[in-house]
Amino acid sequence: MARRADDLRERVVYAAAAVLLDYPDERVRDRLPSVRAALAEHPGPLPRLLETTAAQLMADDGETSCARYVETFDLSRRHALHLSYWTDGDTRRRGQTLATFKQRYRDCGWVVNLGGELPDFLPLVLEFTSRVDPAVGRSLLLEYRASLELLRLELAADSSIYSPVLEAVCGSLPGPSPTSRAEAMALAGPPREQVGLEAFDPKLLPLSEISPPHPAPVKGTR
């Protein structure tokens, strides 16, 4: 019974995080009361982290929330919400990586209209993990744990209201979280033998200590 309760709480955490990391338009804002109610039904340290962000989003007006989201995620590659960006950058091999994400979804019988979004978009991966196949979803999160931890560190460094959401997602995974970029990058293991730049090449990662951030274009999928 306790294991079932833990599994349900974990699915609630992923479902709530998926909503909170999405663009806070009217559709998302309308879901915030339900998100907070679900979190209140499953108390614990991870739901409390998510409640922090949910409460802030509800307290702010829609214009403020949307502008902050764009500034945080669309105008800074240091906060990329696309998991394979951290590992593959804008290289040719990323196309195959994205195809692999799609195939994982299809293998679980989940055919979803991406609406112009990429399949490695973190809110989408979290929704899949919560609603469709927690085991496969968690395997994706673990496979891209380095990406998650790097994003967590960057949001924390900027004192973002979204920092608790990544702290909760990373906290749901086994083992302690890294305390530095170097430790987070080491989670990816040895470089993969692929065509193009090697995984986690400093020239690929905009957040690398020797590579300054570059502005990214605003996504046109809102």
For 94-150, what is each residue's pLDDT tens digit?
Answer: 888 999 999 999 999 887 777 788 999 999 999 999 999 999 999 999 999 999 999
> 31, 19 in Cβ contact below 8 A?
yes
Tell me the whole-structure pTM to 2 decimals.
0.82
Q: Mean pLDDT highest for which of 102-111, 144-153, 188-197, 210-219? A: 144-153
> 165, 53 in Cβ contact below 8 A?
yes
Radius of gyration, CA atoms only, the chain:
17
Return the percent helix, strand and coil in the chain, to nearest 5.
60, 0, 40
* Cβ density class 61-99: b for 16+ within 10 Å, e for less: eeeebbebbeebbbebbbbbbbbbbbbbbebebbeebbe
d(CA 181, CA 185): 6
d(CA 113, CA 63): 27
DSSP state of 19: H
pLDDT, one tens digit per residue, over 64-110 is 999 999 999 998 889 999 999 998 887 778 888 999 999 999 999 88
